Amino acid sequence: MTTRTRALDTVGAASLAVAGEVGGMVLVLGRTLRALWPPRLDRDETWRALAAFGVASLPVVVATAAFTGVITVLQSALYVQRYGVYDYVGWYTGFVTFREVGPVLVGLVFSGRVGASNTSELATMAVTDQLDALRVLALDVYEVLVLPRTLAMVLALGALCIYGDLVAVLAGAVSARLLVGVEIVQFARSLLERLSPGDFLVGLEKALAFGLVIAIVSAHFGLRARGGSRGVGRAVNAQVVACAVALFVVDYFMTSLIR
């Protein structure tokens, strides 16, 4: 076998593996949407997931957002002072945070914390035959587990993105005052006059889409886990990698379509 043939075999095998995973995620999405009708949502599981996914993630999201606002201002401080564009600090911080950095960073943090947890729980249930027990009891796994957690992730990530944007802007305003000498009133005027509600809504739309992506990817790898505790570890590892790639792919297409 020549080197070129081996390379083609490797590329082909990798392409088939990726296509298989994407197909499995599409099936999970379809079955989750199918569970919406007729609507029989498990409210207890939904509220539990909202508390575990949303409220418990708030501290780490707030810390991440605060450093994001500070770093955004710090990165631009040299050019602001060199060219004297102090009136653009608020606009720049808000624009970058609302449309791109905020939803992406919050999504990655959410994926690492919540997505991995969801995959671990579902994978543990899969390898210990708890999912099969639910099926024996004539219970739909997607209706009982996947759908409530999916809705919770979408709503939680949307709310966390709003909180994160607010914290990032406030941290940016304080750091701009301390590092660049831009007054908070001047920062707020630049932010409000040069940005539109559409800039904020773009980031919120991305956050909601990221929540759906994380829910579907984490459920896919959790439900298909096999092989005991090692299978759980492999599922969590695959979920973290796949979610990171999927978020950037979705962000690329949404950024291309929404301008």
Query: What secondary structure does DSSP assign to 21-66, as a single string?
Result: HHHHHHHHHHHHHHTTTTT---HHHHHHHHHHHTGGGHHHHHHHHH
Residue range 158-194, pLDDT digits in tens: 999 999 999 999 999 998 888 888 888 888 888 888 8
* Identity of the residue numbered 212: L
* Model confidence at 248: pLDDT above 90: yes
Backbone conformation region of residue 138, classed left if phi is above 0, alpha if psi is from -120 to 50, else beta: left
Q: How far apart are CA 198 and CA 137, in angstroms?
A: 48
Q: Round to whole Å and give the CA distance between 70 and 62.
A: 12
Could you tell me the pLDDT band of residue 99, with boundaries at 50, 70 and 90? Answer: confident
